[in-house]
């Protein structure tokens, strides 16, 4: 059995070296727009991934057209958001009030909109389709046969894996999604996995062909997420200079487990009152997923735990504003029950902030345990409190981890991610053309 492809790229090399005549990529992101604010609703790391890789592709002279579902009547049918990047807002169902689990009912409408847009273009307009998440994969599955181009698919999250790592109060992913993922994974010409762990999950749980899997880690924008002035960052956020600051950034839902940080700090106050009383927690994010059913649940939990006086809730933010939050922190927490990668962990480390994260999924790649941060097995509040205690009472260790975090994050850039994607696109195109030629020869020989 062949292993998934893992390509080591030279960080100094041009990502455009694998372009090989590629002109235009259709990216499908049905359930969330790359222009949406990450950290709320269904927007998160995938939005960042789509937009950042599109930017890098455009910089290589490859045009990118992104198809997403329209969620407002004010959105234009198509808009050029940056040179070389066009976003198409496809009408598929009501603009508002449609939950992600309702979107399968609109896959036909969305796919029709994608096909109609391409039908108005010259023949052979797109060279490859890159679908993101299983819903988009179904649209890509039909479009690839209609356009005679390969389908490259990124799952971003997998239902079977999520269901194996559910939080206590979370709802399992529906069986329809499981079946849908199995179909897309079987039909895609190439699968992009964020880590070797995700590649193994695709093979183990979905019987994916290892030869069609390319392991391509996401990146971080090191022009935005950089070390900076911690004192100024705390002044900007109104946080006392003498505080010990723990941060969380992400969607407020059971999967992301922000409650673990709160419970651990409450436990820390029992184990080390002098330290625990100095901790300020900064929670950046908005309601999402199952959290929509309990919009105040995290605030109510903080009151129940007796730590509400130590929590600062901030609305979702990205780019320089989020980087400033990370700079203000002594550590950033990523206590998720499952992550295919965990971009927040990478962004925090790029700012020189160590990360305390759950030892699951892609976080075991995103965080270098004992070097750039600490990985914790499970979600036991005492174990997390112990990790906080070890890190926060040892300034020398934090300083070493801060430097190591910047170094570790520097190994993951969108430049490298895009270089690998270009190779994956090229390989998929060559395989498809080779298969078409072989099919044509077989057809002629049988006459």
Annotated binding site: 31, 37-38, 42-47, 100, 133, 157, 177, 251, 256, 317, 326-327, 329, 339, 347, 353
Helix (H) or strand (E) holding 233: helix 230-237
Beta pairing partners, 28: 67, 131
Please report, in range form, the residues annotated as the binding site for Mg(2+): 326-327, 329, 353
HSE on the CB side for 313, CA within 13 Å?
A: 19
Please report, in range form, the residues annotated as the binding site for UDP-N-acetyl-alpha-D-glucosamine: 37-38, 45, 251, 256, 317, 339, 347
d(CA 133, CA 179): 13
Q: Are 351 and 408 spatial neighbours (Cβ–Cβ below 8 Å)?
A: no
According to DSSP, residue 416 is labeled H
d(CA 174, CA 292): 18
d(CA 398, CA 243): 15
Please report, in range form, the residues annotated as the binding site for 1D-myo-inositol 3-phosphate: 31, 42-47, 100, 133, 157, 177
Taking residue 14's Cβ as centre, other Cβ atoms within 10 Å add up to 12
First CA to last CA distance, the chain: 35
Taking residue 355's Cβ as centre, other Cβ atoms within 10 Å add up to 31
Q: Are 334 and 342 spatial neighbours (Cβ–Cβ below 8 Å)?
A: yes
Mention every residue, 6+ apart, whose C-beta is less than 8 A from residue 312.
237, 238, 239, 280, 281, 282, 283
Q: CA 386 from chain center: how many Å?
A: 28
DSSP string over 197-224: HHHHHHHHHH---GGGEEE----B-TTT
d(CA 161, CA 173): 10
- Coil, strand or helix: which one is 304? helix
Would strands 85-90 and 78-82 be described as parallel, antiparallel, or unpaired?
Answer: antiparallel
Mention every residue, 6+ apart, whose C-beta is less than 8 A from residue 190.
150, 151, 152, 153, 212, 213, 214, 424, 427, 428
Q: Which two tokens stand for residue 443?
A: 């057809």
d(CA 86, CA 100): 24
Question: Residues 285-308, buried b or exposed e (16+ Cβ, 10 A)?
Answer: bbbbbbbeeeeebbeebbeebebe
Beta pairing partners, 311: 281
């Amino acid at each position: 059995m062949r292993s998934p492809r893992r390509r080591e790229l030279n960080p100094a090399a041009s990502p455009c070296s694998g372009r090989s005549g590629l002109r235009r990529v259709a990216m499908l992101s049905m359930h969330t727009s790359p222009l949406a604010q990450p950290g709320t609703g269904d927007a998160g790391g995938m939005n960042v991934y789509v937009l950042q890789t599109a930017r890098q592709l455009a910089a290589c002279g490859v045009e990118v057209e992104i198809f997403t579902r329209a969620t407002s009547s004010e959105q234009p049918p198509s808009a050029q958001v940056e040179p070389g990047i066009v976003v198409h807002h496809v009408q598929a169902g009501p603009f508002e009030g449609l939950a992600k689990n309702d979107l399968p009912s609109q896959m036909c409408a969305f796919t029709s909109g994608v096909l109609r847009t391409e039908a108005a273009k010259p023949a052979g307009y797109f060279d490859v389709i890159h679908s993101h998440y299983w819903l988009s994969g179904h649209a890509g599955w039909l479009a690839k046969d209609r356009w005679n181009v390969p389908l490259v698919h990124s799952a971003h999250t997998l239902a079977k894996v999520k269901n194996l790592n559910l939080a206590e109060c979370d709802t399992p992913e529906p069986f329809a999604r499981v079946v849908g993922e199995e179909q897309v994974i079987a039909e895609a010409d190439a699968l992009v996995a964020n880590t070797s762990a995700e590649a193994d999950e695709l093979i183990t749980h979905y019987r994916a062909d290892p030869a069609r899997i390319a392991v391509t880690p996401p990146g971080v924008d090191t022009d935005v997420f950089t070390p900076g002035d911690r004192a100024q960052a705390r002044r900007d956020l109104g946080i006392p200079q003498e505080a010990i600051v723990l941060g969380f950034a992400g969607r407020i839902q059971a999967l992301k487990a922000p409650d673990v940080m709160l419970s651990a700090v409450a436990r820390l106050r029992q184990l080390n009152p002098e330290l625990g009383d100095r901790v300020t927690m900064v929670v950046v994010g908005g309601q999402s997923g199952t959290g929509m059913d309990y919009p105040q649940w995290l605030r109510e939990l903080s009151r129940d735990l007796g730590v509400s006086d130590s929590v600062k809730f901030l609305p979702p933010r990205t780019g320089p504003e989020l980087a400033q939050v990370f700079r203000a922190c002594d550590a950033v927490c990523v206590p998720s029950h499952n992550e295919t990668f965990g971009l927040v962990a990478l962004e925090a480390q790029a700012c020189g902030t160590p990360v305390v994260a759950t030892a699951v999924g892609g976080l075991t790649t995103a965080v270098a345990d004992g070097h750039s941060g600490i990985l914790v097995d499970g979600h036991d509040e005492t174990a997390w409190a112990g990790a906080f205690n070890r890190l926060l009472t040892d300034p020398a260790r934090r300083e070493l981890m801060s430097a190591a975090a910047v170094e570790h994050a520097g190994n993951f850039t969108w430049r490298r991610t895009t270089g690998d994607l270009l190779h994956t696109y090229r390989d998929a195109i060559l395989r498809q053309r080779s298969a078409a030629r072989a099919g044509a020869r077989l057809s002629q020989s049988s006459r």
